[in-house]
Structure 1
């Protein structure tokens, strides 16, 4: 295999972002086909993403027609959250490797079925959380794995932004398509960071949620208990005046702060700040996907992260509905 042939399912704003990254930074890949039911999205993708005068081999209103008609090595799925499951399953059936936007799915049972399907057909599934592909997240994982923070006993996350002003009237505010509000949208980055960086699992949650007259959640406060006795909190707002977000991890020997997306880092060794942390070199999630297809790398964001997220989100929403603490199934069960 020389050039990796990719198809795009979903040509909206995030689809165009992934497209630009592929064309501008991944020379071994070529976007050969696009699928989106909205003709305007297809036209805008071609205009904004492809070099002047270049066209994909084919465009489709139905992704299933693309999978049937075009020979592809992989697909990138950037569609409404509730569509991810079937689109991933169909793509695997067509022999494609998959890079799917977060959240991977919106139901635990779908995550379990997707993982089993990928294993059965020996296809790669990589979840497009940007954090695990960053230098900062890799550094933090290594620091914690070496025991430099000691025993982790506090993990907190915050994600507050003027989300509703940007998404009002779009599919992101329709429960049937999004699976939830900002908890499942930008909040997905926060929850994934809390789990991925610490290597801990959540065992229990107690959640308060306020939709603020929207169909989906806008404000949420979640108390969490992790494995090994760690405690935590997560706060999400989709109606803030300014963007405020981050992760704080405290251990018996030190603490770390970072962004929910990576790109920022504060490391405290005891009471002394590590002034010049040496962060490892990493590749982008788009480059990593192509490297995985070529068999020269593995993804740091495998579908188990999507399963953990789905379990946690199912428990959070159930806790808010019942007004009680809910137990979360862990990987060990």
Structure 2
């Protein structure tokens, strides 16, 4: 089996989480470099490598330094603050590097369009790391809907909740110039993307109410929407709660599918059945394993940059509705 080389760009908490999964896959992946400006994060990253008895690879404070003098790499995994996603991804693509990019892809529609243009010009691979879109559970849910297992889909009810307000207080995720938004743009993006992915339909009408809870960004959100095919959607983002979890119910005329924003579960209840029952789906080692499958041609890219553009445009509608306290209709 060939081994894919990767540079890890960003080694904060989520970066180290993904790194731990990647280091378990040493038969298929080799981390050749780290790009991280924080000495504290580098020290914590070193501990992750020690756990797997692997030497810490070369570390670079800046991406441009790595691209100029670092070891050659086939791929990059970018897990940095949101405002850095666009310039770092564009630089990697233009350097001939395939990219797995942490969600949300970019800060706005313009950056999304420019990144699609860069992907097209360089002919490199770009996958957005939405775990839902990359999960076997969501792929299976889409198959069931296509097979008419629950009849015509008529409504969706989704909730994501987390102790986000307190856990992110004083951190970059609550600085809009860096984060691009609040709870809905961050953790809530998983819920929004998974719902839209499952339905495979455009959202035409949005009405949103948001509450910042005395912070600079949205914390609590309620969104009511309608798709082109007439499916009604209710999305709740509760960032002033406990833990971190989600629920998504796809309601059909002949059944119901229950899943989660990350594709962490899949259940179904058909007409005539009394309870939801588990649906079998393939297990995954995470987004990196799925990225490798896309790169090898084993799996069609389920999360190209067009997914990031779709999310950016939908967030523009949600924000416009919340800011102006009115229904927004897609032009």
| CA shift for structure 1 position 215 | 0.6
Aligned counterparts of 1:244 and 1:291: Cα–Cα separation in 2: 27
Q: Which shifted more, 273-282 or 173-182?
A: 273-282
Unaligned runs of 5+ in 1: none
Evaluate the alpha carbon distance shift between residue 67 and residue 296 of structure 1 in structure 2; reply closer, same or farther with a 3 A threshold. farther
Aligned length: 328
TM-score for the superposition, normalised by structure 2 = 0.93
- Cα distance in structure 2, aligned partners of 1:262 and 1:53: 31
| Corresponding residue for residue 169 of structure 2 | 168
- 1:183-227 deviation digits (Å, cap 9, x = unpaired): 011100100111111212211111111111101111111111112
SS at match of 1:43: helix
**Which of residues 315, 319, 322 in structure 1 aligns to 2:321?**
319
- Name 1:111's counterpart in structure 2: 112
CA contact (8 A) 2:49 2:55 kept: no
Distance of 1:276 and 1:223 partners within structure 2? 28
Residue 234 of structure 1 aligns to a residue whose secondary structure is: strand
* Structure 2 residues without counterparts, runs of 5 or longer: none
Question: 2:15 aligns to what?
Answer: 15
Residue 227 of structure 1 is matched in structure 2 by 228
Aligned ranges 1:250-265 → 2 under 5 Å: 250-265=251-266
1:37 equivalent in structure 2: 37
1:66-107 deviation line (CA, Å, top 9, x unaligned): 122231101000001111111110110111000010101120
* Secondary structure in structure 1 of the residue aligned to 2:229: helix
Change (3 A) 1:195 1:26: farther
TM-score using structure 1 length = 0.93
Question: How far off is 1:250 after superposition?
Answer: 0.7
Q: How does 1:71-220 map to 2 (within 5 A)?
A: 71-220=72-221
Q: Is the 8 A contact 1:68 1:94 kept in 2?
A: no
2:267/2:278 contact within 8 Å kept = no
SS in 2 for 1:7: strand
Q: CA deviation at 1:38?
A: 1.0
Give runs of aligned pairs for residues 296-311 of structure 1, distance below 5 A: 296-311=298-313
CA RMSD after TM alignment: 1.8
